[in-house]
Amino acid sequence: YFQKAIDLGDAEGLTAIGTAYYWGKAVEQDYGKALEYWQRASEQGSTKALTNIAYLYGHGEGVEQDFDKTMAYYQQAAELGDEEAMSYIGNMYLFGDGVEQDYAQALEWYQRAAEENEPLALANLGWLYHSGNGVEQDIGKALEYYQRAASHGDADALFNIGSMYLNGQGVQKDYGKAL
């Protein structure tokens, strides 16, 4: 059915086939073919395909690692409103991957993605406020962001909330809630 969708020019079908090649599901794993399908989908405006291509370049899977291309693809997807790409740009600034580490830029990108309740952005905003990196430390805000991320299934946020209850950080120590 994906092939039929592709034959009709469907970007989601192209993205799905690319993902099948990336993971080796029902086909032999082939990063080159994944890239080929994702490029075709990106030409039709698929932000998921753009984000996937950025990931390949960021991790050097099937292509030479190239953080400039990683950033360019993430930015293109972000400009089209992809909140996951916004979070990944935030990560690049947070960790200094191919760019100078810049907590203010990370904060800005996470805030943009958090407006759409993107879980990674919410969890990382929680971490920034928890650690005080790039912002004034605010344990209450950290907990709020962690809770928002946790409500969207983010495991790191759940762990951080558990740690806060275990250690009594910003909340009353409660081993039962921690577990």
Contact 150, 157 (CB under 8 A): yes
Q: What is the pLDDT of residue 3?
A: 75
pLDDT tens by residue, 56-99:
999 999 999 999 999 999 999 999 999 999 999 999 999 999 99
Q: CB-side exposure of 62: number of CA atoms within 13 Å?
A: 18
Q: What is the pTM of this model?
A: 0.90
Return d(Cα 67, Cα 93) in angstroms, integer. Answer: 12
* Number of neighbouring beta carbons within 10 Å of residue 26: 9
